[in-house]
Amino acid sequence: MDTTELIKALAADNRKSILSLAYVWWGSIVMATAIAAAIVFLTLTARPDIEVAVETPRFLFKLVFAISLAASAFYLIRMLSRPGEDSRRTIVFLSIAPAMLAVAVILELMLVPPDTWPARMMGANNLYCLFAIWLIGLAPLTIIVVALRHGAPTRPVLSGAVAGLLAGGITATFYVAHCAADSPLFVAIWYTLLSPH
């Protein structure tokens, strides 16, 4: 086999592995999402005011924040699982959710009286939220780590951290239906601790 044939064979193998990895990732994200949803909806009850809450900006922001975190982390972890991909340009996507949260916190601080800030930051069941999300997020995290092992990440520490963000984002997307604390101040403190990484 000459050099040209070897290069063609390696390129063909690379295309096959990328396609295979794409199937692994999409299958894993569907499975992780389904399991997180099932655990949340089978073990937790929806908040009593859910019908009213879904029409409020704070609740909707919390949901959009969780979805944007999960979506950007999924995009980035797929890049990190393939050697040779330039993941630096995709890290910009990962900054979208924190930037949204920073703006929401600033607006919250401007709109509500300072004497209500501590209560809004702590919520009513912060420790319960913390441990519930951690426990629920372990199953999606396991699936994501197994999918990551099908790739060839060259930055394992960053890949592991993004896997935790992805699992936390997926879980939080469903957990918002149970959590009654909607303040961006609460989200900034507790939801940033919720990702199982």
pLDDT at 197: 44
Determine the structural domain holding residue 83 and report its residue range. 3-194
Per-residue pLDDT at 1 exceeds 90: no
Q: What is the pLDDT of residues 146-172, one digit of tens each?
A: 999 888 888 888 899 999 999 999 998
Q: What is the mean pLDDT of residues 172-182?
A: 88
- Averaged pLDDT of the chain: 83
Helical residues (DSSP H) of the chain, grouped into ranges: 3-43, 50-53, 57-80, 91-94, 96-111, 117-122, 126-149, 156-175, 184-186, 192-194
Our count of domains for the chain comes to 1
